[in-house]
Structure 1
Amino acid sequence: MMTNLSSSFDPLSSIMGMSLNWTSTFLGLLFVPYLFWAMPSRWSLLWSSFMSTLHKEFKTLLGVANPGGTILFVSLASFIVFNNFLGLLPYVFTSTSHLAMTLALALPLWLSFMIFGWLNHTQHMFAHLVPLGTPGPLMPFMVLIETVSNIIRPGTLAVRLAANMMAGHLLLTLLGNTGPSLSLTLLNFLIISQILLLLLESAVAVIQSYVFAILSTLFAGEVN
């Protein structure tokens, strides 16, 4: 029985002091052997089509100078979309609705891009702090603004993904808790609205994984 709305997002299931909720993050590894079947299923073909589309999109953003750079971002998008969809199943822990997970994905990526850029393309990174055509008196302020915007990037990436996943789950929880007190007629409308919300959350799961990966790709493209 939930004590509050946020308790559905707390990793409380544990055995011998070890949290079991976070193990759902690695369930995607069970589906890897399906990709190597001699006769691929329809789901495997659909997944391969999704991955190839992402590869072409990221390759355009990264350029021909980094032909293998898309592997990281395609893997990141597939990891996030799997965990987003997994959270839509009943009684399954949604790891991507926690800042502990999303910040652990965004912060190392951003930090590695910044270190690589400032060590290998220092002049290029300094040039990014002042946009082209900025008047002389405004340059110190633009440097400050661009520096702050660069620092908060991992936070915005993490909060965007976690907030979008948590908001949909909270709305589904709120509507679901009103079911026992409704009449039969209103209950039918509630079920229909829940199904429509579930379809919307499925779209959000794909869109948010794409947005997270595409923004990470853009951050990588800026340092090259």
Structure 2
Amino acid sequence: MMTNLFSIFDPTNNMWNLQLNWMSTIIGLTLIPMSFWFIPSRQMMLWNITLNTLHKEFKILMGPHQINKGSTFIFISLFSMILFNNFMGLFPYIFTSTSHLMLTLSLALPLWTSFMLFGWINNTQHMFTHLLPQGTPPMLMPFMVCIETVSNLIRPGTLAIRLAANMIAGHLLMTLLGNTGPNLNLTLMSLLIIMQITLLTLESAVAIIQSYVFTILSTLYSSEIN
């Protein structure tokens, strides 16, 4: 039962040996109306306001000592990509690519690896100080170093699992409720539809929040290497 239930999230549709479900990561670009590209369209103005707000917030989080002044745009692009894929998964019969660790780890692991390589190569002493919080008693220093090292190593995994788990949880709940629909009477069916609409609204908020959380945590991790 559980195998069949979770199999709905597997990229199984294929043609000419190509996994077509992964096309959902780019096929949504065709759904963007042409008016979005006309300046000054309202959609473009709203998106520009969002990007400017994110740029200011990321700039504050990264601090005044950031190496490249345009590095915030990396995280803005990351936010846009995750948000786009999260929303694509809310449409019926469209594969949710961000619910798979294959994609989320592909985003988190290279970011974390590049941060670590840059930090340990260029700011080695600064990275060592992060392993030992200020004011730690001498007796606890070896344990704190081990704890900080482990917490640093699991960061890409926690980033990836957090995004994938939150995206798949709501979809799984909606699937479970939807499968009970044919066995319900008219009154319970109306209640089920209201619950599904509520869950869809909640999933829309989760799509925005999770893309924001993933990007904010990546920004904070990058600020620690300077």
**1:181 equivalent in alignment to 2:183:** yes
**1:16 equivalent in alignment to 2:16:** yes
**1:208 equivalent in alignment to 2:205:** no
> Which runs of no fewer than 5 residues in structure 2 stay unpaired?
none
Q: Secondary structure of the residue that 2:52 maps to in structure 1? A: helix
> 2: CA distance between counterparts of 1:214 and 1:161?
13
Question: Deviations for 1:161-185, whole angstroms, at most 9, x for unmatched residues?
Answer: 0000000000000000100000000
Matches within 5 A, 1:43-192: 43-66=43-66, 67-192=69-194
Runs of 4+ in 1 over 6 A off after TM superposition: none
* Number of residue pairs aligned between Structure 1 and Structure 2: 222
User: Contact conserved, 2:28 with 2:88, CA < 8 A, in 1?
Assistant: no
Aligned-pair Cα RMSD in Å: 1.7
Deviation at 1:211, TM superposition (A): 0.2
Amino acid at match of 1:19: Q
User: Which residue of structure 1 aligns with residue 39 of structure 2?
Assistant: 38
Deviation at 1:29, TM superposition (A): 4.5
TM-score, normalised to structure 2, is 0.94
Question: Deviations for 1:127-183, whole angstroms, at most 9, x for unmatched residues?
Answer: 000000001111111111000000000000000000000000000000001000000
Question: Matched residues, percent identical?
Answer: 64
Deviation at 1:24, TM superposition (A): 1.1
TM-score, normalised to structure 1, is 0.94
User: Contact conserved, 1:62 with 1:69, CA < 8 A, in 2?
Assistant: no
User: Contact conserved, 2:98 with 2:163, CA < 8 A, in 1?
Assistant: yes
Q: 1:110 to 1:71 in 2, by over 3 A?
A: same
Deviation at 1:65, TM superposition (A): 3.5
> Which runs of no fewer than 5 residues in structure 1 stay unpaired?
none
